């Protein structure tokens, strides 16, 4: 599934939070269409 197709599945009041936990640095991203 392509990135654009995944984004198209998100409708309404949905917030997606992704967290990448690594050894030295941690990243978080919030996607709210």
Please report, for the chain, the start and end positions of each structural domain, with discontinuous segments joined by +. 1-32
What is the 8-class DSSP label of residue 25? Answer: -
At 17 the pLDDT is: 75
3-class SS of residue 30: strand
pLDDT of residue 24: 81
Query: According to the model, what pLDDT value does residue 33 have?
Result: 61
Each residue's pLDDT, cut to its tens digit, for the chain (33 residues) gives 788 887 777 777 777 777 887 778 888 877 766
Q: So what's the pLDDT on residue 32?
A: 67
Determine the pLDDT at residue 2.
85
CA distance 24 to 19: 14
For the entire predicted model, the pTM comes to: 0.32
Tokens for 11?
């409708």
């Amino acid at each position: 599934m392509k990135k654009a197709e995944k984004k198209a599945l998100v409708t309404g009041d949905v917030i997606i939070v992704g967290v990448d936990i690594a050894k030295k640095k941690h990243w978080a991203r919030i996607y709210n269409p």
